[in-house]
Structure 1
Amino acid sequence: MGFSINVLTMFGMVLVIGIVVDDAIVVVENVERIMSEEGLPPLEATRKAMGQISGAIIGVTVVLISVFVPLAFFSGSVGNIYRQFAAVMGVSIAFSAFMALSLTPALCATLLKPVEAGHHHAKTGFFGWFNRGFSRTAKGYEGVVARILPRAARYLVIYVAIVAGAAVVYLRLPTSFLPNEDQGTLLVNVQLPPGATQARALDVMQQVEGFMLKQPEVQSMVSVLGFSFSGQGQNAALAFVTLKDWHERKAPGTSAQDLAGRAFGGLSGIRDAFIFPLSPPSIPELGSSSGFAFRLQDRAGLGRDALLAARNQLLGAASKSPILTQVRPDGLEDAPQLQLDIDRDKANALGVSFDAINAVISTALGSAYVNDFPSAGRLQRVVVQADAPARMQPDDLLRLSVANNKGQAVPLSAFASTRWITGPMQTVRYNGYPSMRISGSAAPGQSTGAAMMEMERLATQLPQGFGFEWTGLSREEKIAGSQAIVLYAFAILSVFLCLAALYESWSIPLAVILVVPLGVLGVLLATLTRGYANDIYFQVGLITIIGLSAKNAILIIEFAKDLQAQGKGVIEAALAAAHLRFRPIVMTSMAFTLGVLPLAISTGAGSASQRAIGTGVIGGILSGTALAVLFVPIFFVVVRGLFKDSPRQQQVHAEQAAHMGVHSDD
């Protein structure tokens, strides 16, 4: 697929580490359970175990792959991020299932030693204590479920409250596109007043350098004069600040974002320039800095003066908003310009053409290539231009002579005059409309999504005829936000349809899908608690939790379905399945949580993205496991009580149950 080993694929690989061991854990746990309960030798126990759990492993694999399939079909930069996750997760999960159905059983039959029935209770030491304690916990859990199931419908009220709570938290969650990473560098954009000379710009940059190099986080700084993100000119400058390695900046307040905020306050005392220390964007190709990129458009053709007034009104309103900070025009301000007014009638009367006027002015003020001449064995270019002292004043321009159609020299002063005006140094169009570029950031404690909503609110207060658009990372954030609900819906729908095809039933997939909000609640609460936002990594984590929550439900419902097909009542089957599957659910959830834990507590390069995805996934797996073991039996009882299998489905499920040999010790 042309992907590389990068941050995104590495994130997927870290998530996969926790997922791929799940199938092997389920196989080994079931083999060990059968050996300890029935005393079968490893080979026979493995055969019986695989007959029982092959369907569950296939179902889990189908769910986990299908939940990532919709990610691969999104377009744009968001789609590129999703696609890399989907490719890594899907292929790895498929290999995991293949190994669980082939190599893991072979290893169990070969490496496990025969044991007597009930051996795990007879062990001494830590593992014996753990197994006995876990068995007591499982019995207590079974007792709780036994008390709940006869009144299952009542507990659906709690489930509805959980769904409502998840919806409220989701709406309160701040939005963003990507976390603001500490990339080890800072950018300092410097803009002097129009007409400022390079000498003034150099003096400002020396002051900026003096301040930045005194900061303990800074390693070096490189300054560029004549260029900035606002444009080119003598009054523009840009600095690239390299910070020390992350292991030298572990103390609080030493991140790139903290330094940028501190430098903004410290450099604000330089009155000769507007200075904005900025963090680089999370994706280098999308914008020049973090924050938002706003385009104010003149959609009614009101003119540049009206557009400039609207921009200033918007900047004034933004400066008063507590949600916004560092809102600034992203471009060169209007500057004094010398305008040459030509009297066309006089020029025509004197026989001077406009082509000749243009050629003289461009040659004198700019330059013109004439020819080449040989010198010391090399060709040298001949370039003509008026000498610097002869082009310093407006009168110098009027003293230039232009040849008329008779070859006579005519001074410009004979048909032209000069005057000073204030005019634009650059003109910007966006989607065909005259535009003004505005950049800014969210205030501390606010998300970029909140900042963008505030800018949209302020833009509605402008006079009629002005509109706005987003660009760069801000545009991608708007697209990602609008696609999120569609993404979740397709992920859940794909899981439902795959399970419906696998089990040839609509009720069993419904019982599985109902568990999804339980995991989603944990993702939302964990993200909100740590102050993170609803961004791309949050969405990927949420998709992962949809699959993992369904996986836990499948492990219980697969066994409950087979036990019911053997003739047990729906409550008895759900209770027995919950007891049988409690241990592997807890084991796989613990393995996945420990595998993702390094992401949630990471530091250094790329740590913001790692913490964002790790926090949500761990929160989701914890809540999804803790609540699923209680609610999945309830869902099975309620759904199977409302939707009865057809005679053909009963026959199919009975044949599957007979083949798998599932039973529960009463």
Structure 2
Amino acid sequence: MFSKFFINRPIFATVVSILIILAGIISINILPVKEYPAVTPPQINVQATYPGADAKTLSSTVATTLENAINGVENMTYITSTASPSGILSMSVMFEVGTAVEQAKVDVNNRVQLALSKLPTEVQRQGISVKERSPDMLKVIAFTSKNEVHDTTYISNYLTVNVIDDIKRIKGVGEAMVFGAKDYAIRIWIDPQKLAFYSLTADDVTSVIRTQNNQYATGSIGREPIKTVTPFTYSITTEGRLKTVEAFENIIVRSNEDGSTLRVKDLAQVKLGADSINTVGRYSGDPMIPVGIFLSPGANALEVSAALDKTLEELSKNFPEDIKYKIPYDATLFVKESIKEVIKTLGEAILFVIILIYLFLGNVRATFIPVMAIPVSVIGTFAGLYAAGFSINLLTLFGMILAIGLVVDDAIIVIENVERNLRTKDLKVKDATIEAMKELTTPLIAIILVLSAVFIPAALTGGFSGVMYKQFAITIVMAVVISGIVALTLTPALCAIFLKQHEPEPIWPIRKFNQFFDWSTRIFIGITKQTIRLWFFSLALFAILIYATYSIMKINPTGLVPTEDKGMLMVLTYMMPATSLGESKKITAEIEKQLLANPNVIGTGAITGIDIATFAYKTDAGIMFTKLKPWSERKLPEQKSQALAGQFMGQFMMTSKEAFVVPVNPPPIMGMSTTGGFEMWIQDRTGGSLHTLNKYTSEIVAKASQDSRLSGVRTTLNTNTPQYKLSVDNDKAKAMNISIDSIFNTIQSTFGQGYINDFNLYGRTFHVNIQSDSQYRATKEEFKSVYVKTKDNNLVPLSELTSLDRVVDASVIERFNMFNAAKVTGNPNIGYASSDATKAIEEIAESVLPEGYTIAWSGTTFQEKKLESEGNYTSLYAAIFVFLILAALYESWSIPLAVIISIPFAIFGAALAVFLRGLEADIYFQVGLITLVGLSAKNAILIVEFAMDKLKNGMNLLDATIEAAKLRFRPIVMTSLAFIVGTLPLAISSGAGSASRHIIGTTVVGGMITAMVIGVLFIPLFFYIVLKVKQKILKTNTKLDI
């Protein structure tokens, strides 16, 4: 017998356990720590720039060309594009979870290169970037200047030159992005009136600058091949690119015969300024430059955060005295607090389990034995996580908490059986232990196999749910396998040493508890007999329970993962369409003041000029990262982030007349969506106008605002943005001998921003741009003062060749999977779940949209829709695996049925508990169900295994069934209660991350209670009926060959 070796060699058994603990301790120190494993789908970002182009031009000339090329790349799930009025096109290509991101980037880049020649020349000159967009934003750092000694342009470039590169070199940092970077540029601010006076155009100035600010290859003197040998070879060097404002000012535009020259400074102001001013940042009222820090895949968030803090502290010693930094957003605060709360819950679970074990076993020595299984199994599991390439995250820690109740089960079963042998048989402790292990080795192995097998389908599932299941499943399997090893090695060795043949009488509370339990056992056996006697009535009750379970599961709201209080809010602001950046800044500042006045807010980081929902630069949008007080200082329900979001929503509806303000929680999983809530796309497959699409979208949003299930519903499409539509008289231009290219180049260089070439500063390369001075771009009347040149060098006012008409149209155009689309986002109202919100908006959309318009999902909602079908199948497959393992173990198709039929009791309890607490049946609920499949099967195995032994020893079927139920009732209740009290802290915990803990804790506690209280009454019945049916089939009343 396997365990006998360790009973005779207790030191050997101890050494094995110590080695497991040491391996776990070493692994803890090197495992990465994250909130979640890599569950976010890989995302490749393609960005193109077309200076001066509007959204419609970008969408029609650049987006469609690139989409046609990229669409269908391997493992792609969907593609979106956003054309903004700033001339920037941003495309996101989403892939299946688990796709190799580097290969995805190569595949996308290859297709972009094939399409490059089809794009406008100006887009090609600017270049197209293809890069992995890291979804894990670690921090946002706000850099400010005290008393505004330095402007934000200086701060931005100081960071670019002196800080950003150092941050990027930190191990684990995937990207350090300056939001709204104001890179230096030589700005040529031309005066159209002066150009006209000298009979010049913007094209003329651009041409001379491009020629005189260039890098030329000039060769060498005396370089081979050469006929005459020279002693030296000399390189010929030139000044190359210009470096100073003065040098650009002195570029010669025209030389006259009298020796006089016309220079750039005679026609324009030349300044060193910002390449673009798309955004304005403020931290708690002070101007700031925000820098987003993103993690590289697999990086340890806490280690990177610590290294980043250290690097910033060192770099700050050399900052100009006025430049300071603050951190308005830090993802590790939530991660640290969540892990801290989980570890606290872990400690509570261990304490509760120890108390329960002592209550049942009645003495310290016996209690010590199963308690030893906890550190060995839990700490040893970390070694398994390292071997599997996993991280320490919320899922693996949840798995360990659930495993606490499991890892002591096997040891409890061993001790209980040894003590029963000591009470009922005249055996020495060592002999009683050997006898117990003879009886238990097979059922222990069966339990280990079943609890491991139940998670095999979960571990093999692909996609988002597969990653979630796998982390959780493998953690529990590792803990169960290690606890099984302990139960077969260390536990019997300790029993032989610590247990006594005649234990002293337990203390009074323990005696009373044992008396109560003996009474409970008698009641249990009495009910069990009645359950078997009234088998038809019992089966009817079982059928009712199955129907009730189905009904509850149907009405339980669903979701992907719960919304957590992450210690911050994202406050989105939308001003009137076409509101200028300066005006938006004023409005945002007022909203910021109201936020800071709330006692639960400790800081805000505001960025005006960006729409976070589309990541498009828009002068009439903004976002504020609003940092809340620590969780320990916000314990009241009205202080939770969800409640504060609702309060701010109502407050701003009353006070903010110039902006639509939407406070939202961050997404539950960073990188899965931009904000929390649902993401729906309305696709126009008819090729109709954006105005028609906007009409239907607006109707949907209006109806959604009246639906009590929805909150904060909004759309990114707005075709009511005031614009001017430019029309060119091609016939007149042709008649005047003016090229169309020259007209548009002049317009772009005047009213847009013309890119000329580059210059070097501080070892970097920056742009040289040309544009009209601000007073010549203020009104449409300025078209009269801008001229184009005919091929005969005559000047013609732009106003003679063009016309401007006031129109309203979309400033941002989005596309989803090759079609023009409108993005609709929103949140479930208080008291409603994610599934309620998606169902509501889906019903509204179907009632409004005509034929040719369809809906699609993205972000978190996309994964949620996939999960709706995957989760239930995984639980079913888990039950099938359990059945097959037991069939192989018992060499019987009938015996496993008695085990499998007991599973619905646990599912009923789980569904009922979640329903009564008003929680969502999300991914954590599905994980809990899979766990319950194995746990409820374990209870049945204990009874079935002993009943089979009794049958083999000559008992009749009914007596064997009742005797097995009587013998195994105490260990079943004991192990079930150990699991329940071990996971109860999850269900009642508070603090950061409590929403996830509540769902998984409620699921398994509710399921195990019904499995223990109701299910255990039916397991003997199912065994009896299955064997009775087998007798009928075999037409024998004799002892069964099982």
Q: TM-score per shorter chain, which class? A: over 0.9
Counterpart of 1:461 in 2: which secondary structure?
helix
2:581 matches 1:198: yes
1:184 corresponds, among 549, 552, 567, to 567
2:644 corresponds, among 259, 274, 281, to 259
Partner of 2:675: 289
Partner of 2:460: 73
2:768 matches 1:385: no
- Residue 239 of structure 1, CA deviation: 0.6
Partner of 1:535: 922
Partner of 1:337: 723
AA paired with 2:602?
Answer: Q
Counterpart of 2:473 in 1: which secondary structure?
helix
- Residue 226 of structure 1, CA deviation: 0.9
2:656 matches 1:273: no
* CA–CA separation in structure 1 for the residues paired with 2:550 and 2:643: 33
1:36 corresponds, among 412, 417, 423, to 423
- Residue 319 of structure 1, CA deviation: 1.9
Counterpart of 1:576 in 2: which secondary structure?
helix
1:497-533, CA deviations, whole angstroms, 9 ceiling, x for partnerless residues? 1111111111111100111111111101110111101
Distance 1:183 1:88, change over 3 A: same
Distance 1:51 1:375, change over 3 A: closer
Identical pairs, percent: 37
Distance 1:79 1:332, change over 3 A: farther
| 1:562–1:653 Cα contact (<8 Å) kept | no
AA paired with 1:235?
Answer: D
Counterpart of 1:93 in 2: which secondary structure?
helix
- Residue 557 of structure 1, CA deviation: 0.6
1:325 corresponds, among 694, 711, 716, to 711
* CA–CA separation in structure 1 for the residues paired with 2:696 and 2:419: 73
- Residue 467 of structure 1, CA deviation: 0.8
Partner of 1:218: 601
Distance 1:291 1:374, change over 3 A: closer
Counterpart of 1:170 in 2: which secondary structure?
helix
Partner of 1:307: 693
Counterpart of 2:672 in 1: which secondary structure?
coil
Counterpart of 1:250 in 2: which secondary structure?
coil
- Residue 207 of structure 1, CA deviation: 2.4
* CA–CA separation in structure 1 for the residues paired with 2:535 and 2:621: 70
Greater CA drift, 363-372 or 436-445: 363-372
1:621 corresponds, among 986, 1005, 1008, to 1008
Greater CA drift, 252-261 or 200-209: 200-209
AA paired with 1:321?
Answer: D
1:143 corresponds, among 508, 520, 526, to 526
2:1017 corresponds, among 606, 612, 630, to 630
| 1:398–1:416 Cα contact (<8 Å) kept | no
AA paired with 2:710?
Answer: L
- Residue 434 of structure 1, CA deviation: 1.2
AA paired with 1:430?
Answer: F
| 2:693–2:822 Cα contact (<8 Å) kept | yes
* CA–CA separation in structure 2 for the residues paired with 1:74 and 1:145: 39
Greater CA drift, 484-493 or 630-639: 484-493
| 1:561–1:653 Cα contact (<8 Å) kept | no
* CA–CA separation in structure 2 for the residues paired with 1:377 and 1:318: 54
AA paired with 2:597?
Answer: K
- Residue 368 of structure 1, CA deviation: 3.2
Distance 1:220 1:39, change over 3 A: farther
* CA-atom RMSD in angstroms: 2.3
1:223-243, CA deviations, whole angstroms, 9 ceiling, x for partnerless residues? 111113243222111111111
2:996 corresponds, among 600, 609, 612, to 609
* TM-score for both structures, normalised by structure 2: 0.60
* CA–CA separation in structure 2 for the residues paired with 1:248 and 1:382: 52
* CA–CA separation in structure 1 for the residues paired with 2:887 and 2:558: 34
Partner of 1:368: 754
Partner of 1:98: 485
AA paired with 2:709?
Answer: I
Distance 1:611 1:630, change over 3 A: same
1:170-219, CA deviations, whole angstroms, 9 ceiling, x for partnerless residues? 11111111111000000100000112123332232222222222222212
1:565 corresponds, among 921, 935, 952, to 952
* TM-score for both structures, normalised by structure 1: 0.93
Alignment of 1:221-620 (within 5 A): 221-230=604-613, 231-269=616-654, 270-331=656-717, 334-370=720-756, 382-462=768-848, 463-620=850-1007
* CA–CA separation in structure 1 for the residues paired with 2:709 and 2:987: 28
* CA–CA separation in structure 1 for the residues paired with 2:791 and 2:526: 108
* CA–CA separation in structure 2 for the residues paired with 1:376 and 1:567: 93
* CA–CA separation in structure 1 for the residues paired with 2:776 and 2:592: 37
Partner of 1:162: 545
Distance 1:111 1:572, change over 3 A: same
Partner of 1:82: 469
Partner of 1:663: none
- Residue 375 of structure 1, CA deviation: 10
Counterpart of 2:569 in 1: which secondary structure?
strand
* CA–CA separation in structure 2 for the residues paired with 1:537 and 1:351: 71
* CA–CA separation in structure 1 for the residues paired with 2:821 and 2:832: 27
1:250-281, CA deviations, whole angstroms, 9 ceiling, x for partnerless residues? 12311000000001000112110000000001
Distance 1:382 1:199, change over 3 A: closer
- Residue 334 of structure 1, CA deviation: 3.6
| 2:452–2:480 Cα contact (<8 Å) kept | yes
Counterpart of 1:144 in 2: which secondary structure?
helix
Partner of 2:303: none
AA paired with 1:403?
Answer: K
* CA–CA separation in structure 2 for the residues paired with 1:156 and 1:126: 39
Distance 1:502 1:388, change over 3 A: same
* CA–CA separation in structure 1 for the residues paired with 2:760 and 2:1000: 66
- Residue 153 of structure 1, CA deviation: 3.4
Greater CA drift, 186-195 or 396-405: 396-405
- Residue 74 of structure 1, CA deviation: 2.1
AA paired with 2:992?
Answer: A
Distance 1:86 1:396, change over 3 A: same
- Residue 652 of structure 1, CA deviation: 10
| 2:682–2:824 Cα contact (<8 Å) kept | yes
| 2:956–2:1039 Cα contact (<8 Å) kept | no
Greater CA drift, 571-580 or 53-62: 53-62
* CA–CA separation in structure 2 for the residues paired with 1:106 and 1:447: 51
- Residue 94 of structure 1, CA deviation: 1.3
AA paired with 2:880?
Answer: L
Greater share of residues in helix: 1
* CA–CA separation in structure 2 for the residues paired with 1:476 and 1:259: 27
Greater CA drift, 33-42 or 254-263: 33-42
* CA–CA separation in structure 1 for the residues paired with 2:789 and 2:1006: 81
1:18-56, CA deviations, whole angstroms, 9 ceiling, x for partnerless residues? 111111111111111111221311211111111111111
Partner of 1:27: 414
- Residue 79 of structure 1, CA deviation: 1.8
| 1:549–1:624 Cα contact (<8 Å) kept | yes
1:16 corresponds, among 389, 403, 419, to 403
| 2:585–2:608 Cα contact (<8 Å) kept | yes
* CA–CA separation in structure 2 for the residues paired with 1:66 and 1:403: 80
| 2:694–2:717 Cα contact (<8 Å) kept | no
* CA–CA separation in structure 2 for the residues paired with 1:284 and 1:546: 31
* CA–CA separation in structure 2 for the residues paired with 1:261 and 1:565: 66
AA paired with 2:973?
Answer: V
- Residue 373 of structure 1, CA deviation: 7.6
* CA–CA separation in structure 1 for the residues paired with 2:853 and 2:757: 51
* CA–CA separation in structure 2 for the residues paired with 1:93 and 1:381: 62
| 1:295–1:435 Cα contact (<8 Å) kept | yes
* CA–CA separation in structure 1 for the residues paired with 2:756 and 2:588: 39
Distance 1:388 1:100, change over 3 A: same
| 1:297–1:430 Cα contact (<8 Å) kept | yes
* CA–CA separation in structure 2 for the residues paired with 1:384 and 1:302: 37
Distance 1:378 1:653, change over 3 A: closer
Distance 1:199 1:380, change over 3 A: closer
